[in-house]
């Protein structure tokens, strides 16, 4: 027998064995099918029962871990983070309300003081301007009074000289009149 013939014969035997196995599998599937369905339903029921029994125990275990182990682990992790951090952030606490009220009051008082100071400075400048104006008026009035006084002095001096000359003239006239009267009287009395 040739090799080709042996191969064909082996292939035919293999195909026949495969067909027999497929037939056997079909028969077994038909026979065991109802048992498989029952096993599947039974397994689903047992799985549900196992889940129902396990769930509360897992919750209890989770709560115990959360209450006992988790805080310790969280503290350890937090401490490790602080040690590893190259530059810890500065934490500012909350500013008390009384400090804020005092600060706002101080700022308000400073603003009022500043406003009053500005007002006073402007009033001082206005008063200084009025004072300078009054001084100028006093100087002008003094100069005018000085000029009038000199003019009046000149008039009084002129009037005094005139009065003095009139007085001298009147004296001279009175002396002359006295002499003439005395001579007239002397002439009559003789």
Summarize the confidence of residues 140-149 as an average pLDDT: 90
Per-residue model confidence (pLDDT) at position 46: 92
What is the pLDDT of the chain when averaged over all its residues? Answer: 83
This prediction has a pTM of 0.29
Q: 66 Cβ partners below 8 Å, 6+ apart?
A: none
Residue 5 has pLDDT above 80, yes or no: no
C-beta of residue 71 within 8 angstroms of C-beta of residue 77: no
Compute the distance between CA of residue 154 and CA of residue 3 in angstroms, rounded to an integer: 174
Summarize the confidence of residues 124-131 as an average pLDDT: 87
Summarize the confidence of residues 14-38 as an average pLDDT: 88
- DSSP, collapsed to helix, strand or coil, labels residue 91 as coil
Residue 185 has pLDDT above 80, yes or no: no
**Length of the chain in residues, anyone?**
190
Summarize the confidence of residues 122-142 as an average pLDDT: 89
Query: In the structure encoding, which two tokens stand for residue 66, read together?
Result: 């959360």
Give the residue carrying structure tokens 């104006």.
133
Per-residue model confidence (pLDDT) at position 172: 81
Per-residue model confidence (pLDDT) at position 43: 92
Compute the distance between CA of residue 152 and CA of residue 98 in angstroms, rounded to an integer: 78
Residue 40 has pLDDT above 60, yes or no: yes
- DSSP, collapsed to helix, strand or coil, labels residue 88 as coil
Give the residue carrying structure tokens 């988790």.
70
Compute the distance between CA of residue 159 and CA of residue 153 in angstroms, rounded to an integer: 9
Residue with more model confidence, 6 or 78: 78
Reported as a single tens digit per residue, the pLDDT across 151-172 is 888 888 888 888 878 788 878 8
Query: In the structure encoding, which two tokens stand for residue 112, read together?
Result: 């009022």
Domain positions in the chain: 1-69
Q: Nearest to residue 10, comparing CAs of 25, 18, 24? A: 18
Summarize the confidence of residues 91-99 as an average pLDDT: 76
DSSP state of 89: P
Per-residue model confidence (pLDDT) at position 19: 92
């Amino acid at each position: 027998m040739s090799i080709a013939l042996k191969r064909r014969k082996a292939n035919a035997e293999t195909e026949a064995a495969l067909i027999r196995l497929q037939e056997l599998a079909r028969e077994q599937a038909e026979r065991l099918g109802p048992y498989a369905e029952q096993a599947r339903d039974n397994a689903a029921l047992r799985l549900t029962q196992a889940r129902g029994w396990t769930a509360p125990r897992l919750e209890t275990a989770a709560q115990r871990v959360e209450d006992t182990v988790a805080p310790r682990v969280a503290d350890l992790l937090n401490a490790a983070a602080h040690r590893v951090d190259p530059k810890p952030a500065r934490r500012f606490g909350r500013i008390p309300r009384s400090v804020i009220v005092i600060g706002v009051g101080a700022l308000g008082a400073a603003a009022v003081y500043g406003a009053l100071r500005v007002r006073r400075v402007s009033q001082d400048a206005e008063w200084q301007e009025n004072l300078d104006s009054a001084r100028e008026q006093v100087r002008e009035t003094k100069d005018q009074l000085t000029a009038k006084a000199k003019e009046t002095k000149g008039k009084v001096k002129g009037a005094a000289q005139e009065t003095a000359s009139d007085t001298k003239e009147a004296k001279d006239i009175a002396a002359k009149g006295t002499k003439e009267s005395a001579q007239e009287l002397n002439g009559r009395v003789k």
